Amino acid sequence: MRPPRLSLLTLLSGSAYKCDGAKCDLYMTRTQQSTLPPLVNAIEVYTIIQFPQSGTNQSDVSAIKNIRTSYGLSRIDWQGDPCVPQNFLWSGLKCNSTDMSTPPRIVSLNLSSSGLTGTVASSIQGLTQLQVLDLSNNNLAGEVPEFLAEMDSLTVINLSRNKLSGRVPQALLERSHKGELQLTLEGNLLCNTTSCKKNDKNKFIVPILASVASVAAITAVLVFIFMCRKKRASSIQGCILAVAVTRDGSTNLTEPSILRKKRRFTYSEIVEITKNFQRVLGKGGFGVVYHGYLNDTEQVAVKMLSESSAQGQKQFKAEVELLLRVHHVNLVSLVGYCDEADHVALVYEYMPNGDLKQYLSGKLGGFVLNWASRLRIAVDAALGKC
């Protein structure tokens, strides 16, 4: 045999070779005209395997393949028969194969930490002999399906640490309470019967509250501005409203850690507080706002008046006069100010959890204030004393 130059050549045998004693020897002999030793890149050997056990129950095969399709699973070993032979059982499966004459059934399905998305696949109910179902540590969403309660063979269901929401089927809860089923659901957004009833009521209340709250919030802010302007009409050009909001969405009802002592800072103290204006928090109409530490422990926000500010020093000082008189737990307090030659600054209480605008826009990790909290904040702010 002479292989072609720089090409692959495959030789196929037309008949099978029978090896004595389960051992086969392959010899390659170089001819006298050959200048190179013989070389084999690959060889395939097929053997006949006897399967004394019948294949997996056909309904289980169809169900598990539908599950594979639903979740887009591409496991290498999920090929061929799911349960037969036992040495090549699909990963995550356990089969009942005690009786060799009966097609094995799938009794356990473990897809924990498999990156599953979507909802709990309805194909699971096709595994009618399933006893253990573990879908924990995935990204499944939607509700816990009712069909799980109808699968009488299930004794263990683990749906923990997913993104499931809504009501848990009452039949599942009853089976769990009776000790017939081990049900694990922690790490989800599920509710029990009582809390779900409350949420159902909120479905009707929230749309109405949203409309009323939006109008009330605007009205409350306008009332607040009117009160401020009426009080300080001669010197104040406008009111600046800032609200401190905690991470859980509630207003700041506790006294701030920084003392409400309004003090006058020198410019050198401002430089020291901001560590030479190292960290910028943002920019506004007056100028740049910097982060700082007062007494090396308490965090503050320092607003510096820019020389190019369109609002000017009069408006800037008017804000100082206003905030010196405003005292309310929902309004950011003024710690002090600096008015030294060309250097003018306001030192505020620092809001580590963000401001009202960020919470209204939902830019803080996906958290958005509900309308009840928005209305409460607006009313509380409007009731502040100017």
pLDDT tier for residue 196 given thresholds of 50, 70 and 90: low
User: Is residue 187 domain-shared with residue 242, that is, in the same domain?
Assistant: no
Residue 23 lies in a domain: no
User: Is residue 240 domain-shared with residue 171, that is, in the same domain?
Assistant: no
User: Is residue 252 domain-shared with residue 317, that is, in the same domain?
Assistant: yes
Q: What is the CATH number of the domain that holds 123?
A: 3.80.10.10
What distance in Å separates the CA atoms of residue 93 and residue 67, rounded to the nearest whole number? 12
Say whether pLDDT at 243 is over 80: no
Domain boundary among the residues 160, 191, 222 is at 191
**Residue range 43-57: average pLDDT?**
79
Q: Which of 97, 99, 74 is nearest to 85 (CA)?
A: 97
User: What residue numbers bound the domain in which 241 lies?
Assistant: 235-370
User: Is residue 182 domain-shared with residue 239, that is, in the same domain?
Assistant: no
Residue 206 lies in a domain: no
Say whether pLDDT at 255 is over 80: no
Residue 363 lies in a domain: yes
Cis peptide bond prior to 85, omega within 30° of 0: yes
Residue 335 lies in a domain: yes
pLDDT tier for residue 321 given thresholds of 50, 70 and 90: low
pLDDT tens digits for range 127-148: 999 999 999 999 999 999 999 9
Residue 20 lies in a domain: no
User: Is residue 182 domain-shared with residue 261, that is, in the same domain?
Assistant: no
User: Is residue 178 domain-shared with residue 245, that is, in the same domain?
Assistant: no
pLDDT tens digits for range 257-290: 333 446 788 988 988 899 888 888 887 767 788 8
Say whether pLDDT at 239 is over 80: no
pLDDT tens digits for range 79-134: 989 998 888 899 999 999 777 778 999 999 999 999 999 999 999 999 999 999 99
- Give this prediction's pTM: 0.44
Mean pLDDT of the chain: 77
Q: Which of 196, 131, 136 is nearest to 165 (CA)?
A: 196
The number of domains in the chain is 2
Residue 186 lies in a domain: yes
User: Is residue 64 domain-shared with residue 141, that is, in the same domain?
Assistant: yes
Residue 162 lies in a domain: yes
What is the predicted pLDDT for the residue at 219? 66
User: Is residue 244 domain-shared with residue 141, that is, in the same domain?
Assistant: no
Say whether pLDDT at 58 is over 60: yes
Say whether pLDDT at 248 is over 50: no
Q: What is the CATH number of the domain that holds 312?
A: 3.30.200.20
pLDDT tier for residue 332 given thresholds of 50, 70 and 90: confident
User: Is residue 150 domain-shared with residue 74, that is, in the same domain?
Assistant: yes
User: Is residue 242 domain-shared with residue 162, that is, in the same domain?
Assistant: no
User: Is residue 239 domain-shared with residue 132, that is, in the same domain?
Assistant: no
Give the residue with greater pLDDT, 380 vs 366: 380
User: Is residue 183 domain-shared with residue 254, that is, in the same domain?
Assistant: no
What is the predicted pLDDT for the residue at 262? 65
What is the predicted pLDDT for the residue at 238? 34
Residue 39 lies in a domain: no
